[in-house]
Each structure stands twice: as structure tokens, then as C-alpha cells.
Structure 1
Amino acid sequence: MILTINGKEKEIKEGLNLEEIMIHLEMKDKVMAAAINMEIVKKEQWNRLKPQNNDKLELLQFVGGG
């Protein structure tokens, strides 16, 4: 399936939940917040929610700086 992740189209295996997608992208330990189609997804739902073809995901990471 095709997902838009942080503004870039990516082909991802169908049937994966949000947490599995983050693992596939090697981002799971870095993501602090996630949204699908502009709706915030609680962290407790990451392992249950399965994005659909053409969904838009925003995987947000906090970056420190100074």
C-alpha cells in the first residue's frame, strides 16, 4: 500500500499496524507522537491501529537544541 509519511510517499506492506510501520522504518524508539490523516493517535493504540492505503501519517520526533 502507499502511505504518505512525513510528506513523502512510501510503499509499505499491507496489514501492518502503526507500531510495526515505525519498526519497519527504524523509527519506533524515536517517535514521540503520531497522527493519521491529521488525527492524533494515542501511544496505546499504535499496536492496534492499521493505516489504510493513501493515508497520511505524521510521525513526530522531538529534537533538542540550543
Structure 2
Amino acid sequence: MQVFINGQAREFDKPLDIDMVIRELGIEAQVCAVALNEAVVKREKWSYTTLKENDRLECLQFMGGG
């Protein structure tokens, strides 16, 4: 299954939910916002929002600094 993550095509052997993808990418969920096909997905829905062929996922990580 092909999914686009932050504009790059990625191949997965099985359907994954957003939570699984975040863990696979090594992103810390507490500092991340996710949009699926240009719609923001609340964190509490990540574990049961399954990605489909050619979905587009944008993962934005927040950083502190000054």
C-alpha cells in the first residue's frame, strides 16, 4: 500500500492507523499535529483512523526555541 507522508511516497505491507505510522516514524506524539488528506485529525482518533491507498498524511512537529 502506498501512502504519501510529508510529500514522500512510502510503501507499507499492511493497512496502518495514524498512531502506528507516528510510532514507525519515531515521532513523539505529544509534539505532533496530523492532517490526513488536508483535514486535521484529533489525537484521540489516531488509533482508529486507518490509512488507505494513496492517502496523504502531513505530520507537523512543534519545537521550542528562541
Same-fold call, TM cutoff 0.5: yes
Structure 2 counterparts to residues 1-66 of structure 1, below 5 A: 1-29=1-29, 31-66=31-66
Q: Is the 8 A contact 2:34 2:58 kept in 1?
A: yes
Q: Which amino acid aligns with 1:13?
A: D
What TM-score comes out, normalization by structure 2 length?
0.86
Could you tell me how far 1:65 is from its partner in structure 2?
2.7
Residues matched between the structures, number = 66
Displacement of 1:14 in angstroms is 2.1
What percent identity do the matched residue pairs reach? 38
Take 1:42 and 1:25, find their aligned partners in 2: how far apart are those partners? 18
What's the CA shift for 1:27?
A: 1.4
Runs of 4 or more consecutive aligned structure 1 residues displaced over 2 Å after TM superposition: 28-31
Cα distance, 1:31 vs structure 2: 4.6
- In the TM superposition, residue 13 of structure 1 has moved relative to its aligned partner by 2.9
Which ranges in structure 1 are unaligned for 5 or more consecutive residues?
A: none
Larger helix proportion of the pair:
2
Cα shift readout 1:9-65 (whole Å, capped 9, x = no counterpart): 111232211101111111143652101100100100000000101000001101223
